[in-house]
Amino acid sequence: MKLNQRGLLIVVSGPSGVGKGTVRKALFDIKNHNLVYSVSMTTRKPREGEIDGQDYYFVSKEEFLDGIKNDKFLEWAEFVGNYYGTPLDKIEAQLDQGKEVVLEIEVEGALQVRERMKDAVFIFIVPPGKQALYDRLKKRGTESEEIIKQRVEKADKEFLLAYKYDYIVVNDDVNNAADRIMAIIRAEHAKTERTIHNYIKMLEE
Ligand SMILES: Nc1nc2c(ncn2[C@@H]2O[C@H](COP(=O)(O)OP(=O)(O)O)[C@@H](O)[C@H]2O)c(=O)[nH]1
Ligand SMILES: Nc1ncnc2c1ncn2[C@@H]1O[C@H](COP(=O)(O)OP(=O)(O)O)[C@@H](O)[C@H]1O
């Protein structure tokens, strides 16, 4: 028998503009990973270059509210005027197949996952300094000045909840941050509490 067959649910959060999407892409570029990305549903309009079904499932507000009513989400939240949610359907099957399922979601939703998935691992990404958030959002150029300000203001409140996470990763350099997340995943897999039952069974065989 193999030790530790079930995959991990990895929840990555952090303020808008901290570099979650960029670090996640670098994480998926690391060789021999076993990660799958959970594509969220949103009512936000697609940015230039974003692909439906790959970056998000872009839906209408009616469709989203219907999803809430029919219990289709592991979690959902409203973020600066739009809805975002994690579709529940594939997650359990992927974890059972031994995949590491990565959610990239905001803080309120992450705390809902905390309640529902006791085994999940929670990682909060922080910028190397406060100004970096504004500068990175400005440089990305996908949001208006007004929305950037709202997102940076929201970040102040999000930071206060960082203590609820298992790990904090500083995104100073993208590849370093991705390496640190991979190190966390490997260490979590080696945790005694995750492996002990299978280990005992193996000794008994
Ligand atoms: N709760 C929740 N938040 C999500 C989900 N998908 C994305 N988000 C978060 O919603 C926030 C806004 O996302 P987005 O508009 O794509 O902006 P960006 O993260 O700055 O690129 C970010 O903090 C995302 O991590 C989801 O399924 N659930
Ligand atoms: N470590 C980093 N150093 C400098 N710029 C970064 C770094 N990580 C991300 N960025 C840039 O910051 C901007 C926001 O990154 P993004 O991944 O879209 O953030 P988020 O998904 O958290 O909103 C992008 O323009 C990205 O290229």
**pLDDT, tens digit, 9 for 90 and up, residues 111-169:** 999 999 999 999 999 999 989 999 999 999 999 999 999 999 999 999 999 999 999 99
The domain ranges of the chain are 9-38+99-204, 39-89
The packing angle between helices 174-189 and 20-28, to 10°, is 60
Tell which CATH architecture fits domain 39-89.
2-Layer Sandwich (3.30)
Give me the pLDDT at residue 3, please.
58
Query: What average pLDDT does the segment 178-198 reach?
Result: 89
Atom of ligand 1 nearest to the CA of 112: 1
Backbone angles phi, psi at 36, to 5 degrees: -125, 145
Nearest Cα to Cα of residue 105 among 92, 124, 118: 124
Which of the listed residues 140, 147, 176, 181 should we mutate to test ligand 2's pocket, taking the one with most ligand atoms within 8 A of CB? 140
User: Does residue 120 contact residue 101 with C-beta atoms inside 8 Å?
Assistant: no
Ligand-binding annotation for 85, yes or no, is no
What pTM, to 2 d.p., does this model score? 0.94
Nearest Cα to Cα of residue 39 among 21, 26, 23, 27: 21
* Residue list, ligand 2 pocket, CB within 6 Å: 14, 16-22, 136, 139-140, 171-174
Q: How is domain 9-38+99-204 classified at the CATH fold level?
A: Rossmann fold (3.40.50)
- Find the DSSP H helices in 31-77: 61-69
Ligand 1 site, residue 112, Cβ cutoff 6 A: no
Which of the listed residues 13, 29, 136, 143 should we mutate to test ligand 2's pocket, taking the one with most ligand atoms within 8 A of CB? 136
Ligand 1 site, residue 158, Cβ cutoff 6 A: no
Nearest Cα to Cα of residue 20 among 183, 204, 190, 174: 174
* Least reliable range by pLDDT among 32-36, 38-42, 77-81, 199-203: 199-203
ipTM value for the complex: 0.97
